[in-house]
């Protein structure tokens, strides 16, 4: 968010775009650190399997939340705006 708001609905388009990019960056960092720790503890091959299981289990929850927050429809588990690219 910005220094002046705590509500995503109060952001203008530029602030919202910057917020989304920041969140994607944070997600990438989180997943990288998580994977590296699992790899450290269990080895690379096992970490790959665990990552795939976690991705499968969390995908629907994540995109449903994103679609609700950002206001886009889903089609066959894919964000509709991506289908129009």
Q: What is the pLDDT of residues 7-57, one digit of tens each?
A: 888 999 999 899 889 999 999 999 999 999 999 999 999 999 999 999 988
Query: What residues make up the domain containing 37?
Result: 8-83
CB 72 within 8 A of CB 60: no
Rounded distance, CA 17 to CA 55, Å?
A: 25
* Overall domain count for the chain: 1
Is residue 34 included in any domain, yes or no?
Answer: yes
Name beta bridge partners: 78.
Answer: 75
User: Can you tell me whether residue 18 is helix, strand or coil?
Assistant: helix
Is residue 70 included in any domain, yes or no?
Answer: yes
Is residue 13 included in any domain, yes or no?
Answer: yes
Contacts of 83 (CB under 8 A, 6+ apart): 75
Is residue 1 included in any domain, yes or no?
Answer: no
Q: Average pLDDT for residues 65-69, to the nearest whole number?
A: 87
Is residue 60 included in any domain, yes or no?
Answer: yes
Is residue 38 included in any domain, yes or no?
Answer: yes
């Amino acid at each position: 968010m910005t220094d002046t708001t705590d509500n995503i609905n109060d952001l203008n388009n530029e602030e919202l775009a910057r917020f989304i990019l920041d969140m994607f960056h944070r997600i990438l960092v989180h997943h990288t650190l998580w994977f590296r720790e699992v790899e450290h503890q269990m080895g690379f091959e096992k970490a790959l399997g665990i990552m795939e299981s976690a991705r499968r289990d969390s995908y629907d929850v994540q995109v449903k939340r994103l679609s609700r927050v950002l206001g886009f429809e889903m089609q066959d588990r894919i964000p509709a705006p991506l289908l129009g690219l």
